[in-house]
């Protein structure tokens, strides 16, 4: 992982991480890099990819390799997309705007976090007129606040809502607790008013009575978890969403066949198989290990994507071979931003794209559609998951 100090031009995604480590302060680095509790799942997300072995075919014409694909019917240049990650301005002052420009330059999809440090209207402004922007949602007990956010996202032109379902409460991130993590000024959660108006007047009074103000550390004091609705259920939340929006609904954070079947049953339009980058329930299985059972459960009825631990072109290839329509990147985008803003994210995407093309050529796949489970060694462990 360590990059020699003389190397200033990253050549792989781990190089971006090593450089970002030298550029970010402890507060931001720990918030971005670490996971929940013992960080077992954070580690497994990557380790599980290395357990999958490729099974290449030869003498296939790979003189031209195309990574073109589509998301919910909209074409994109590559299946490598950008996951929602909060508070990107800590990595680079242009934050989410820099990321949005990089996504547009690559003609790929970006999901914007509810907790962005740039207002959602400002971010989509950088679209190339074609590449998909989706808005990630946390739902609040105070539903009018959520409804207003949804309507703003719709008005601004976001084409889908990504409802994160693995975060009814925030995971226990030890480094953030030790640092008493707080979003440094001048950054703020830009999709919300400056004060605590997101909660109702009586909730606000209760928070203030408990000594919680807008200056209290963010993660540790449960302001955000107080705001988020831990009471969401299939039968209430999805119909409510449907009643307030016509946008496609993607569920992010599904890891089991049971929930995948429920997602189809409740009319969701897609699933992102994810364990939130190991930041929520520590000890859950690696995202890539959960992918096959979710793909099998939905039986092609809706699109399935995945995120968690993607750092190499062969990781992307393996995820596609196991049935993901596309993959999403969390931390690598933050490392690209910390390295060199918009340019850094572009460089990071270019390297991963080139690595994917290389993996496709060396496996004998000229198109994304050609990538199937046959390109993976069928170990007993993998067979048990397929």
Ligand X SMILES: CCCCC(=O)C(=O)O
Provide the annotated binding site for FMN: 84-86, 113, 136, 164, 252, 274, 307-311, 330-331
DSSP β-ladder status, 133-137 and 303-307: unpaired
Q: Is residue 113 within the footprint of ligand FMN (CB under 6 A)?
A: yes
Binding residues for glyoxylate: 31, 138, 173, 276, 279
Do the Cβ atoms of 183 and 223 come closer than 8 Å?
no
β-strand partners of 75:
70
Q: Is residue 224 within the footprint of ligand X (CB under 6 A)?
A: yes
CA–CA separation, 294 and 336 (whole Å) = 30
Active-site residue list? 276
Report how many residues bind ligand X under the rule CB under 6 A.
8
Query: Residues 103 to 132: which contact ligand X by CB under 6 A?
Result: 115
Q: Is residue 359 within the footprint of ligand X (CB under 6 A)?
A: no
Question: Which partner, ligand X, ligand FMN, none, binds residue 314 by CB below 5 to 8 Å per kind?
Answer: none
Question: Which partner, ligand X, ligand FMN, none, binds residue 170 by CB below 5 to 8 Å per kind?
Answer: ligand X
383 contacts: CB under 8 Å, gap ≥ 6: none
Query: Residues 272 to 291: which contact ligand X by CB under 6 A?
Result: 276, 279
Question: Which partner, ligand X, ligand FMN, none, binds residue 308 by CB below 5 to 8 Å per kind?
Answer: ligand FMN
Q: Is residue 280 within the footprint of ligand FMN (CB under 6 A)?
A: no
Question: Shortest CA distance to 13 belongs to which of 49, 54, 40, 37?
Answer: 49
Output the furthest CA–CA distance in the chain (Å, rounded).
71
Binding residues: 31, 84-86, 113, 136, 138, 164, 173, 252, 274, 276, 279, 307-311, 330-331
63 contacts: CB under 8 Å, gap ≥ 6: none
Tell me the window of 66-74, 151-159, 276-284, 371-379 that interacts with ligand FMN (CB under 6 A). Answer: 276-284
Do the Cβ atoms of 307 and 60 come closer than 8 Å?
no
Per the omega criterion (within 30 degrees of 0), is the bond before 159 cis? no
CA–CA separation, 334 and 326 (whole Å) = 19
Write down the least CB distance from residue 360 to ligand X, Å. Answer: 31
The enclosing H or E element of 110 equals strand 110-112
Q: Which one among 85, 99, 191, 226 touches ligand FMN, defined by CB under 6 A?
A: 85
Q: Is residue 86 within the footprint of ligand X (CB under 6 A)?
A: yes
Q: Which is nearer to ligand X, 69 or 167 (CB)?
A: 167
**Exposed / middle / buried, residue 77 (Cβ in 10 Å: 0-12, 13-18, 19+):** middle
Contact residues: ligand FMN, CB under 6 A: 31-32, 45, 83-86, 113, 115, 136, 164, 252, 274, 276-277, 279, 307-310, 329-331
């Amino acid at each position: 992982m360590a990059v020699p100090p003389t190397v200033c031009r990253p050549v792989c995604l781990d190089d971006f991480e090593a450089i970002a480590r030298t550029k970010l302060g402890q507060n931001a680095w720990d918030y971005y890099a670490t996971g929940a509790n013992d960080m077992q799942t954070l580690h497994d997300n990557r380790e599980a990819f290395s357990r999958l072995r490729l099974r290449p075919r030869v003498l296939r014409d790979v003189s031209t390799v195309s990574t073109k694909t589509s998301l919910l019917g909209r074409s994109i240049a590559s299946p490598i997309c950008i996951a929602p990650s909060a508070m990107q301005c800590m990595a680079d002052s242009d934050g989410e705007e820099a990321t949005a420009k990089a996504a547009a330059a690559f003609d790929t999809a970006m999901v914007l976090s509810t907790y962005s440090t740039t207002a959602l209207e400002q971010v989509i402004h950088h679209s190339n007129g074609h590449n998909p922007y989706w808005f990630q949602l946390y739902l609040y007990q105070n539903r009018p606040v959520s409804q207003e956010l949804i309507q703003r996202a719709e008005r601004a032109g976001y084409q889908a809502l990504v409802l994160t379902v693995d975060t009814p409460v925030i995971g226990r991130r030890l480094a953030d607790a030790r640092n008493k993590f707080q979003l440094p000024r001048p950054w703020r959660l830009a999709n919300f008013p400056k004060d605590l108006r997101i909660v109702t007047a009586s909730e606000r009074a209760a928070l203030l009575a408990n000594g919680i103000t807008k200056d209290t550390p963010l993660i540790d004091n449960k302001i955000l978890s107080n705001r988020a609705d831990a009471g969401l259920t299939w039968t209430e939340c999805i119909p409510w969403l449907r009643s307030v929006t016509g946008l496609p609904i993607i569920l992010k954070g599904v890891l089991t066949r049971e929930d995948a079947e429920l997602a189809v049953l409740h009319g969701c339009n897609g699933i992102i198989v994810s364990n939130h980058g190991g930041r929520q329930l520590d000890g859950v299985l690696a995202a890539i290990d959960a992918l096959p059972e979710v793909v099998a459960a939905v039986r092609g009825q809706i699109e399935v994507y995945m995120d968690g631990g993607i750092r190499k072109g062969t990781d992307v290839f393996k995820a596609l071979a196991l049935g993901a329509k596309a993959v999403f990147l969390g931390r690598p985008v933050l490392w690209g931003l910390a390295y060199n803003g918009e340019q850094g994210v572009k460089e990071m995407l270019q390297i991963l794209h080139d690595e994917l093309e290389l993996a496709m050529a060396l496996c004998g796949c000229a198109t994304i559609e050609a990538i199937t489970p046959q390109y993976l060694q069928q170990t007993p462990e993998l067979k048990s998951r397929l």
